[in-house]
Amino acid sequence: MAIQIAEDVFNLTKSFPINQTRILTDQMQRSAISSSSNIAEGHGGGSRKEYVKFLYYSNRSRCELESQLILAVRLGFADRILSRAIMEKLVSIGKMLTQLIKKLETPQPKTHNPKPKS
């Protein structure tokens, strides 16, 4: 879903007036890419702790993108219907990230491996 959001953001920002929105366009695209990339980078890491750290980074980028999307709509650059659809996905992925982080941060029960009897 994070990759779909990045694709949606790139498609949305194609219609922004270039001379007025270059910084906002670049930042929105970077935030969208960062969110999906951090999920992948964390998943490819070596530990739960590392994965959780990158999920937090992803969520931060998602929050940045929400703010930037609101600004783009308020300034009249972004289509409201497309923006609403992207915002709904951002909220949804935020919930997913929160649930995954909670799950990964929950201590895992230690498995008891009794010594084999001789």
Q: State the average pLDDT over residues 22-40.
A: 95
Architecture of domain 2-105: Up-down Bundle (1.20)
Q: Are 100 and 62 in contact (CB under 8 A)?
A: no
First vs last C-alpha separation in the chain: 53
Dist CA 89 CA 97 (whole Å): 12
Task: Using a cut of 0.75, tell me whether the model's pTM lies above it.
Answer: yes
How much is the pLDDT for 107?
82
- Between 52 and 115, the higher pLDDT residue: 52
Q: Write the pLDDT tens digit of every residue in 79-99.
A: 999 999 999 999 999 999 999
Boundaries of every domain in the chain:
2-105
